[in-house]
Amino acid sequence: MRILIIGGGILGTAHADAAVRRGHDVVHLEREPEARGATVRNFGLVWVSGRTEDELAATLRSRELWADLGARVPGIGFRENGSITLLRSDAEVAVARAAADRADARDRGFTLLEAEAIRRLNPALRGKFAAGLHCSTDAAVESRVALPAIRWHLATSGRYRFRPETEARSVTRTAHGTVQVRDDHGTVHETDLVLVCPGATLSGLARELGGDLPLRRVRLQMMQTAPLGEKLTTSVADGDSLRYYPGFAGAALDELKAREPQALTAEQHRMQLLCVQRLDGGLTLGDTHEYDEPFAFDVDEAPYEHLVTVTEELLGRRLPPVVRRWAGVYSQCLDPTELVHRARVDDDVWIIAGPGGRGMTLGPYLGECTADLLSL
């Protein structure tokens, strides 16, 4: 089958990988020279901890697919480093203990560790914390280089062509039933199936094809430091992540929220600390969540100051200099029962968008699901 994919982010690339692996020919259009949206403005985390019970099987399957991708494409930097959510109060420890006592804790790889055990596991953590929730199934990839590496691998099949700086302008059908996609260079691509993966660009062709999609957009702020100078053996989260991730919901979390309000900056910007070490030794730190549009074009300094303070307290040392800061926007499906908005908008034309902050984690699984759904 000839498949044309619009959108070069993680969803478009994951769908291309699923299609090529099943023997189909793929033409892949991306309007920028390289994907520049949330796909590369994230932590590169494959995050199992904190996912709801309904999401767990999908997340674990996606992690298997990431591991397979890492074996096929070493350049993505896949590593099974796990994570530790560091806890600084009895109320936070209670939430983590409830999670570690659940029936699915073993599947998640949850273990509640005392401070000394954490320091043995991750010696770079020499700061102030009472305990930590270790999740051995969490993993990471290098978000800024993963997609080019995957595309290079797909191109070696002879069945994949990437067309950067090429924006799809229209999708039509001929009298003979052939689907045609016209791009902004005037080229007409004849194909059997069109998959539109617009990311957070919900106007233009995405709106023309799908109307007002049941999605909202979310803006985040993040930053990266110079190399730390020592190895951070796991990814790191703080107790605020217990408030953000739905998998920690329950009586213990309700008690935490009632007893311990967040720091003002963290509350105002809906913050949690996530920290992952890049292969070059630098740390990617974040993040915030902003839902009300129009989003600002600039970034607020207060969240960055908060992230630096919290990270330094947990590391027990000064951070290296911050070398870059950025904001990003992703789309999120409004239906809480769905992992992504996937809809047929015409015969042989589908829109797939809105995994929210789970895009990097779930991308390979969502590509596989679409391939199964369409019997590719």
Domain boundaries, the chain: 1-79+142-214+337-376, 83-136+215-333
pLDDT at 178: 85
Q: Decide if pLDDT at 265 tops 90.
A: yes
Distance CA 198, CA 102 (A): 37
What average pLDDT score do residues 52-67 get? 96
Distance CA 217, CA 40 (A): 16
pLDDT at 175: 80
Show Cβ contacts of residue 184 under 8 Å, excluding neighbours closer than 6 positions.
31, 166, 167, 168, 169
Distance CA 206, CA 210 (A): 6
Q: Decide if pLDDT at 135 tops 90.
A: yes
pLDDT at 125: 98
What average pLDDT score do residues 262-277 get? 97
Query: For residue 16, what are the CA distances in angstroms to 206, 330, 371?
Result: 19, 20, 10
Q: How many CB atoms lie within 10 A of CB 60?
A: 17
Average pLDDT along the chain:
96
Q: Decide if pLDDT at 329 tops 90.
A: yes
Q: Decide if pLDDT at 59 tops 90.
A: yes
- Residues 270-312: tens digit of each pLDDT: 999 999 999 999 999 999 999 999 999 999 999 999 999 999 9
Q: Percentage of residues in the chain with pLDDT exceeding 90?
A: 97
Q: Decide if pLDDT at 24 tops 90.
A: yes
pLDDT at 300: 96
Residue whose C-alpha is closest to residue 94's, from 256, 296, 238, 331: 256
- Residues 196-240: tens digit of each pLDDT: 999 999 999 999 999 999 999 999 999 999 999 999 999 999 999
Q: Decide if pLDDT at 249 tops 90.
A: yes
Q: Decide if pLDDT at 262 tops 90.
A: yes
Which of the four CATH numbers 1.10.3720.10, 1.50.10.150, 3.30.9.10, 3.30.1280.10 does domain 83-136+215-333 have?
3.30.9.10
Q: How many CB atoms lie within 10 A of CB 69?
A: 21
DSSP bridge partners of 179: 173, 191
Distance CA 284, CA 274 (A): 8
Residues 209 and 171: beta-carbon distance below 8 Å: yes
pLDDT at 279: 97
Q: Decide if pLDDT at 174 tops 90.
A: no
Q: How many CB atoms lie within 10 A of CB 210?
A: 22
Distance CA 294, CA 288 (A): 16
Distance CA 152, CA 141 (A): 16
Show Cβ contacts of residue 121 under 8 Å, excluding neighbours closer than 6 positions.
84, 113, 134, 233, 234
Strand pairing category for 160-163 and 139-140: unpaired
pLDDT at 227: 98
Query: For residue 105, what are the CA distances in angstroms to 79, 95, 134, 241, 339?
Result: 21, 13, 11, 17, 21
Residues 218 and 289: beta-carbon distance below 8 Å: yes
What average pLDDT score do residues 81-92 get? 98
C-alpha radius of gyration, the chain, whole number: 21
Q: Decide if pLDDT at 320 tops 90.
A: yes
pLDDT at 123: 98
Structural fold of domain 1-79+142-214+337-376: FAD/NAD(P)-binding domain (3.50.50)
Q: How many CB atoms lie within 10 A of CB 266?
A: 21
pLDDT at 176: 81
Residues 51 and 343: beta-carbon distance below 8 Å: no
Q: What is the DSSP letter of 263?
A: P
Distance CA 312, CA 122 (A): 15
Q: Burial, 349: exposed, middle or buried (Cβ in 10 Å; 0-12, 13-18, 19+)?
A: buried
DSSP bridge partners of 187: none
pLDDT at 177: 79
Strand pairing category for 193-196 and 188-191: unpaired
pLDDT band of 365, cuts 50, 70, 90:
very high
Distance CA 155, CA 255 (A): 53
